[in-house]
Amino acid sequence: MHIAVLGGDGIGPEVTAEAVKALRAVAANGPQFEMTEGKIGDAAYDTTGDPLPEATVVLAERADAVLFGAAGTYESDLRPPEARGGHGLLRLRKRLDLFANFRPVRAIPELAGASTLRREVLEGVDLVVLRELTSDIYFGTPRGFSTAGGERSAFNTMRYTESEIRRVAHAGFKAAQARRGKLCSVDKANVLETMQLWRTVVTEVGREYPDVELTHLYVDAAAMHLIRRPRDFDVIVTGNIFGDILSDAAAMLTGSLGMLPSASLNAEGRGLYEPVHGSAPDIAGRDIANPLASILSAAMMLRLSLGKPEMAMRVETAVRRVLAEGLRTADIMEEGATLVGTQAMGDAVAREIARLPD
């Protein structure tokens, strides 16, 4: 099986290297995964003039799955799209039509003390944010800058088609059926036409899933409920920009953005797997980033794209054991725990994977 490995920028390559370590460890007693590195982000732009070289798209299309790190830096974020590392990732999502982005958020008892939230609020939290990933204000046109009227202005277009909403809604209902049967659709239907259509279409699709309990929240209230009563959520389905924001907030339910994995799937089930966090320029190059979000993304890849649920389980169990042993990167450090760097954390997970039976 062939995996395209796109480390990208900042801590992207650092955490991805640890996920690769976990993949090698879990396949140690059988055929190894074939892994090929490709360029993306500022790292690609600086050497090829394109944040998403065509060779990377070909590599990603031919691979059975893509393991992605992070793209973009503060320096490039304000450039035009064609020179912006982060835009390389957006283009790749669009090219592969990865419309369904699953971001599971599970409170880990060992990390209850690492969160800024109270332990009793976090107990039992197990939810998934399903973020639509290939439309919305991220991709709507027209967009751009203008000097009409004698002053600078800028504009973006929030747009959703019925079919774009319908397909992600179906993915949300199916995910809910496979879990606790609850779907919460998050929109801003009280203000935006796009979101009125969103609510209408999600409600229509819901009639095909009488076994799923559908509720609706406005995004502002959803942000509050997510922090106040996170245990009540099962699957949250929402648009591209709201999903981006809500999932970073939800990361604090696990203790750190460095803990949150994700899977981005297309209609054929092909996937790109990446941590929810970005390139973290503030900590890059210092061997202090938490690699667990990337390692847990690799576990999602094993389960969802490579058909290896037992291997996925081994990786996840190894992560739990390492945390139970008290190893912590700086972002989740607590009193009495042992502080380790990125590579030492990856080594520890690989060691635990090797100890677990195949």
Phi, then psi, of 171 in degrees rounded to 5 = -60, -40
Nearest distance, CB of residue 315 and ligand NAD, angstroms: 17
Nearest distance, CB of residue 151 and ligand NAD, angstroms: 27
CA atoms of 338 and 48, how far apart (whole Å): 41
Give the contacts of 160 (CB within 8 A, at least 6 positions apart): 132, 135, 136, 194, 197, 198, 239
Nearer to ligand IPM by Cβ, of 52 and 349: the residue is 52
Nearer to ligand NAD by Cβ, of 217 and 350: the residue is 350
Q: Say whether 244 counts as a known binding-site residue.
A: yes
Nearest distance, CB of residue 128 and Mn ion, angstroms: 16
Give the contact letters, 3-42, x = binds to Mn ion (CB under 5 A), - = no. ----------------------------------------
DSSP 3-state of 182 = strand
Q: Identify which range of 68-76, 135-143, 222-230, 237-245 contacts Mn ion by CB under 5 A.
A: 237-245
CA atoms of 231 and 330, how far apart (whole Å): 26
Which parts of this chain interact with ligand NAD (CB under 6 A)?
11, 15, 70-74, 77, 86, 89, 257-258, 274, 277-283, 289-290, 293, 331
Question: What count of other Cβ atoms lies within 10 Å of the Cβ of residue 152?
Answer: 9
Query: Which of ligand IPM, ligand NAD, Mn ion, none does residue 74 bind to, with CB < 5 to 8 Å depending on kind?
Result: ligand NAD
Please say if 244 is a catalytic residue. Answer: yes
Containing H/E element for 347?
A: helix 342-355
Q: Nearest Cα to 176, choosing from 135, 251, 126?
A: 126
Nearer to ligand NAD by Cβ, of 156 and 196: the residue is 156
Q: Say whether 351 counts as a known binding-site residue.
A: no
CA atoms of 37 and 82, how far apart (whole Å): 22
CA atoms of 215 and 231, how far apart (whole Å): 15
Query: Which of ligand NAD, ligand IPM, Mn ion, none does residue 290 bind to, with CB < 5 to 8 Å depending on kind?
Result: ligand NAD
Q: Say whether 284 counts as a known binding-site residue.
A: yes
Cα 161 versus chain centre, distance: 23
Catalytic, out of 77, 220, 232, 358: 220
Per-residue DSSP letter, 126: E
Residue of this chain nearest to ligand NAD (CB atom): 278
Q: Say whether 11 counts as a known binding-site residue.
A: no
CA atoms of 45 and 51, how far apart (whole Å): 4
Nearest distance, CB of residue 25 and Mn ion, angstroms: 29
CA atoms of 220 and 186, how far apart (whole Å): 9
Nearer to ligand IPM by Cβ, of 74 and 208: the residue is 74
Query: Which of Mn ion, ligand IPM, ligand NAD, none does residue 155 bind to, with CB < 5 to 8 Å depending on kind?
Result: none
CA atoms of 54 and 39, how far apart (whole Å): 10
CA atoms of 81 and 9, how far apart (whole Å): 16
Nearer to ligand NAD by Cβ, of 56 and 185: the residue is 56
Containing H/E element for 43?
A: helix 42-48
Q: Contact, 233 vs 244, CB < 8 A?
A: no
Query: Which of ligand NAD, ligand IPM, Mn ion, none does residue 73 bind to, with CB < 5 to 8 Å depending on kind?
Result: ligand NAD
Token pair, residue 176, equals 């809910």
Nearest distance, CB of residue 307 and Mn ion, angstroms: 28
- 244 touching Mn ion, by CB under 5 A: yes
Give the contacts of 268 (CB within 8 A, at least 6 positions apart): none
Nearest distance, CB of residue 339 and ligand NAD, angstroms: 13
Catalytic, out of 42, 234, 244, 331: 244
Please say if 248 is a catalytic residue. Answer: yes
CA atoms of 84 and 46, how far apart (whole Å): 10
Please say if 220 is a catalytic residue. Answer: yes
Query: From the annotation, which residues make up the binding site for substrate?
Result: 93, 103, 131, 220
Contact set with Mn ion (CB under 5 A): 244
Residues annotated as part of the active site: 138, 188, 220, 244, 248
Query: From the annotation, which residues make up the binding site?
Result: 93, 103, 131, 220, 244, 248, 278-290
